[in-house]
Chains A and B, each alone.
Chain A
Amino acid sequence: MPEFDLDSFKKTWQEQPVQDKYDHAEILRMLNRKSRNYVKYIFWISVAEFLFFSVLGIFYFYRGEEPNSFLKILERLGVQKTADVETNFDHAYLGIKILSLLITAFFVLKFYKNYRKIKIEENLKGLITRIIKFKKTVNAFIFISIALLVVFTSIFTAFIFYALNSQNIQPNHSDLTIVMVGIVVSTILCVSLIWLYYRLVYGIIIRKLDKNLKQLKDIDSQEI
């Protein structure tokens, strides 16, 4: 091959036969297809999560199964099911549920706002920065979801001790150990599963953007 010169190759490049692959009708059909871009996927996944957890929360709230199973644990430890214990627990449970739904709703709203701000005609760096900002909201949502889970578990654990203390009960040592180990193991398992889920759903989708942004920043910081 003779010496390659990009400038003298421009004409050949511009004249490559790429015109008229798609006709008028095919282009019009494309306008009615669904977009498959992944920022949209992230948004809809977050909305689906919100709906799923909200419906699940409302369902359990009305069936009242979660409080019942927790109260059974208390009974196993010897706590009497008094009106005082039940009322306090119901208040704590309702507060936690409302708080968790409010936080999720806040994030869905934030997702939506950030999503709307993403404009494809912005310059590449601006677009990537905006998508990364969108990603940060997702990360905050993940972090707060995990933190909430840990906080709620701690509140329930504290409630166990409060109930035992208020009724001056010395629980069977092995029962208490089983309950505590169960709580710790299930919390670790839940946190790991949530973390793994988000890493898979959002992590893979968004990693390449960091790479592109880094490259743009590198170009901008190059020595001239």
Chain B
Amino acid sequence: MASKEKEFAQLIKDNQGLIIKVSRLYTNSLEDEEDLFQEIVLQLWRSYESFKGNSKISTWMYRVALNTAITLFRKKSKSLQTNELDINHADFIEDDDEKQQQVSLLYTVIKTLPNVERAIVMMYLDDLPYKDIAENLGITEVNARVKMNRLKKTLKEKMEKYA
């Protein structure tokens, strides 16, 4: 087996949390989530060759993962609508731990946001600097910051409403 493939598989294994989070945020079923995970891995593999290390691995992975989820992936299910916010989401009721219940609720709430806003929130939660958030989306840093401040308020309201 080519060592490059092994190296890549190890990279994905070490960073799969990021891909799982993106897959979960942009799908509404486990089947779609697994499909999206595979599609992201494939797209990462295709662009692995051209990744020259100019940016951090995590920034590159975020960019490819979000681009795949937002532009290339054909999901079978629709996005959640605010008025059909499903707080009985399977993940949510299965979690005993209070913190994880909150995480599940946050996933459900974020899923009510439009695609681009979901990406901003996710990168923010994972501590990506605004510079990288803006760069990944092709918007200005100032706008990413303004947008995130507005989103914080929106998420706070929704979380408190549906908790």
Contacts and interface: CB of A to CB of B under 8 A. Distances in A.
Interface stretch (A78-86, A122-130, A195-203): A122-130
A9 B20 contact: no
Contacts of A12: 99, 102-103
A207 B23 CA distance: 21
A122 B73 CA distance: 16
Interface stretch (A58-66, A95-103, A177-185, A216-224): A216-224
Interface string A19-39: 111111001101101011111
Interface in A97-128: 119-128
Contacts of A124: 63, 66-67, 70-71, 116, 119, 136-138
A224 B142 contact: yes
Contact of A120 (B67, B114, B127, B138): B67
A30 to B, nearest CB: 5
B21 A33 contact: no
Contact of B163 (A1, A28, A211): A1
A95 to B, nearest CB: 41
Interface of A: 1, 3-7, 9-10, 12-14, 16-24, 27-28, 30-31, 33, 35-39, 119-128, 131, 205, 209, 211-212, 215-216, 219-220, 222, 224
In order of increasing CB-CB distance, the 3 nearest A-B pairs are A125-B138, A1-B163, A37-B72
